[in-house]
Amino acid sequence: MPRLPPALLRQAHSISPQLHALLPACRDLQSARSELRWIREHALSSSSGAGQPSNRHGNAAVARLVARRARGEPLQYVLGSQPFGALDLRCRPGVLIPRPETEAYVVHLASLLLRARKALGAAAADGRPLRVVDVCTGSGCIALLLYQLLHRGFPGAGSLRVLGLDVAPEAVALARENLERNVRRGALPATALEGGDVRFAQADLFSDGEWNSAVGQRGGEIAGVDVLVSNPPYISTQGFDRDTGRSVRNFEPRLALVPGAGLSQGTACAPEDVFYARLLKVSRVLRPRVMLFEVGDMEQARRVAQMATGLEQSEQWHVEIWRDDPDLDGNDGLREEVLNGRRIPVRGSGHGRSVFVHRVPELVT
């Protein structure tokens, strides 16, 4: 990382010592100004809400928060929240911070599902709801935003059910807190909580017993999920140590980013791809009609797409790679990759972000 020019540091200090403290973490003056403003607003609202004198307690709170951020702690942990679509999500050390790139593909997925809601609703002709399972749910960001975006398109009590699963109890607790928080705020309908439309449970994807029990909690048979989504650990040990930012390495949970040692034993895939191999394996039991998996880069996207083309009855599956902002094809337009002799569309621009797999003709454009 390049050093900051001394003149820039002096300029920041002349404006505010707190701005000077934030500059190494923010890297530019404009970002430091914005973060200092957000920290001050957060401290003021917190001290006022507690019925304390806002100036004295607020200034002390600002100093504490600035010191945390200056040490490289992510702003989302410092402020304790992160906007995600229409939601406001609590963030806490030990649980991965929601990313804007994740929000972009979730919004695009929801728009596609709404466009194909008649075809997807046909599966519920027997009264069964549209069922979404989010694996490695973390803060619950994907599960909650999908429900928020989809629930009006699938009206009626119990017509949409979302289940978020995570191996970490602290993640499940935070996801449940975010569900309750956003119902209280009015960002989610009361049915999400009171009607049990959204639930979170602890389960290990690699433990057949835990997995089957957790998914079976939805009622009815396990094989009946319509949409399977996941942002799993996908970074190699070397990549985590070499390529991730210092704030990620020092503050965010390694468990949510790097697959555990030994999980890839007995598989032919790279250690960082083991979650995708397992997700595709359980898809044979769940029989989803739509799957979306976040990936780390374009090379990993190619590997996962290649795995997906090897699914049973692969001719029924349509596979796409999504870059950042998949609803925007950019100046280059739609591209293609040829994998296993099949042409795989590549949508969006920027970094490879996710792999989209489905067998719903209405979703093919």
Q: What is the CATH number of domain 100-363?
A: 3.40.50.150
Distance separating alpha carbons of residues 197 and 327, to the nearest angstrom: 28
Q: Where are the alpha helices (DSSP H) in 186-318?
A: 208-216, 237-243, 246-251, 274-286, 298-309
Q: Residue 132's beta-bridge partner residues?
A: 162, 227
User: What average pLDDT does the segment 50-57 reach?
Assistant: 56
What is the arithmetic mean of pLDDT over 247-264? 91
CA distance 139 to 314: 33
Banded model confidence at residue 54, pLDDT cuts 50, 70, 90: low
Confidence of residue 218 (pLDDT cuts 50, 70, 90): very low
pLDDT attached to residue 57: 63
Tell me the average pLDDT of the chain: 89
* φ and ψ at residue 7, rounded to 5 degrees: -65, -35
Per-residue pLDDT reduced to its tens digit, 296-323: 999 999 999 999 998 888 788 999 999 9
Choose the most confident range, by mean pLDDT, from 42-46, 50-54, 159-163.
159-163
Cα–Cα distance for residue pair 114/111, rounded to 1 Å:
5
Say if residue 2's pLDDT is above 70.
Answer: yes
> For residue 159, what pLDDT is reported?
87
Task: Say what the pLDDT of residue 220 is.
Answer: 42
Q: Which residue has the higher pLDDT, 365 or 188?
A: 188
Type and span of the H or E element at 169: helix 169-185
- How many CB atoms within 10 Å of residue 313? 7
Is residue 217 scored above 50 in pLDDT?
no
CA pair distance 81, 98, nearest whole angstrom: 10
Contact 321, 344 (CB under 8 A): yes
The pLDDT of residue 240 is above 50: yes
Least trusted range by pLDDT, from 60-64, 112-116, 119-123, 275-279: 119-123
**Percent of the chain at pLDDT exceeding 90:** 69
What pLDDT was estimated at residue 75?
A: 97
Long-range contacts of the stretch 236-239 (C-beta < 8 A, 24+): 236/270, 236/271, 236/272, 237/271, 239/272, 239/296
Share of the chain above pLDDT 70, in %: 91
Residue 329 or residue 287, greater confidence: 287
Confidence of residue 266 (pLDDT cuts 50, 70, 90): confident
Q: What pLDDT score was predicted for residue 49? A: 56
Annotated domain spans of the chain? 6-71, 100-363
Q: Please check the confidence at residue 53 and state whether its pLDDT lies above 60.
A: no
